[in-house]
Amino acid sequence: MRPLTLRRLLWTCGGLSALLLASVVLALKLGAVPISVTDLVLDLGRIALGRANELPSEYRMIVFDLRLPRILLGILVGAALSVAGASFQALLRNPLADPYVLGVSSGAALGSILALIVAPGLALMTPIGAFIGAMATIAGVYFLGRREGQLDSTTLLLGGIICASFFSAIIMFLMTTLAGRDLRGMVFWLMGDLSTPISAGMQWVFTVGLIAATGAIYSTSADLNLLLTGEREATHLGVDVTRVKLVVYVSASLLTALAVSASGAIGYVGLLIPHAVRLIFGSDYRLLIPASALCGAIAIVLADTLARTIVPPTELPVGAMTAMAGAPVFIYLLRRGLR
């Protein structure tokens, strides 16, 4: 028997944090204006010492005003989506669950857009609208996926995909009629994109929301391990199933809402990352949640760097990159599950 120990947990998370730092440095370096790693490290050192004003100004603008905020946003979004995906997988007992596949991302996007239409002046309305949209969608998909009181895996996914395409159609309708064919906005909400910076105030809202929701989910991670063996069994082993499901449902919806209101509906991250983490580190949620958060951050930072640099000077939306990688994996998992 080799159960998870605190030691192994900390070592794994430490290693992944180092990898995340390395990807951040790489993402800062790569781009239309190349910058050497040595310069970067020296500059980061200067900033740490509080001598940021000694840096050359146009250079500082590229690296620290353009690239760094986008990277930080990528970290938040990647972590949020991966943790949300892992949570939905436990909540619905379905390895294919993912905020995008279940239509929760599209629901959150629609919620954001409606909030923008109703109250265009209030910055906080976007994430709140997204949160309501996400909660309503997952509740709807959950009831669509029930058959004779049982949660049916295939019906659930079908319900999610139908919801996603229905919401996408409404988003297109709204963007065309109200925003006057705002194609860039449409790509943002339907595909996901990190190129729109968010305000400093919103960055705080996101960071706090991410930490609170991930913390809440993490506090139930031992329960989630048992929930995956079935609700009835979990009850007999002492899990307060109703409470755990409520905590995870609200927190995962919040994570999806935050990610979507900041970057649109980036797909498949929540599916791809927890699956890869399970293959490498096992399916214990006490390790899966933090490892997914870190790996999700790494994946989005790298995917966005690739999206920025693959066809210069044009930039691809990061959602296109994740869908290109994620859809084949989804099909593979689906086929394997059917066998």
* CA dist., res. 108 & res. 132, Å (int): 7
Nearer to another protein, 28 or 97 (CB): 97
Segment lying near another protein (by CB under 8 A), choices 105-113, 220-228, 249-257, 328-336: 220-228
Q: Count other Cβ atoms within 10 Å, centred on residue 108.
A: 35
Q: What's 147's DSSP letter?
A: E
Q: Is 5 in the site for another protein (CB under 8 A)?
A: yes
Q: 291-330 mask for another protein (x: CB under 8 A)?
A: ----------------------------------------
237 touches another protein (CB under 8 A): yes
State in angstroms the smallest separation of the CB of 275 from another protein. Answer: 10
- Looking at beta carbons only, is 95 or 133 nearer to another protein? 95
- Of the candidate spans 101-109, 176-184, 278-286, 314-322, the one that interacts with another protein by CB under 8 A turns out to be 278-286
Q: With respect to another protein, which residue has the nearer C-beta, 86 or 307?
A: 86
- Side chain identity, residue 174: L
Q: Choose among 256, 250, 287: nearest CA to 270.
A: 256
**Strand pairing of 150-151 and 146-147?**
antiparallel
Judged by beta carbon, residue 262 or residue 293, the one nearer another protein is 293
Let me know: does 145 contact 300? Beta carbons within 8 Å: no
Contact status: 10 vs another protein (CB under 8 A): no
Handedness of CA 11, 16, 21, 26 (dihedral sign): positive
238 touches another protein (CB under 8 A): yes
**235 scored as a contact of another protein (CB under 8 A):** yes
User: Torsions phi, psi of 3, nearest 5?
Assistant: -70, 160
**CB-nearer residue toward another protein: 95 or 192:** 95
* Rounded Cα–Cα distance for residues 98 and 259 (Å): 13
- Report how far residue 252's alpha carbon sits from residue 221's, in angstroms, rounded to the nearest whole number: 13
- Site for another protein (CB under 8 A): how many residues? 30
Report if residue 215 touches another protein, rule: CB under 8 A: no
Q: Which of 113, 232, 92, 225 is nearest to 168 (CA)?
A: 113
Task: Please report, as ranges, the residues that interact with another protein according to CB under 8 A.
Answer: 1-6, 89, 93-95, 219, 221-222, 225-226, 228-230, 232-233, 235-240, 278, 283-284, 286
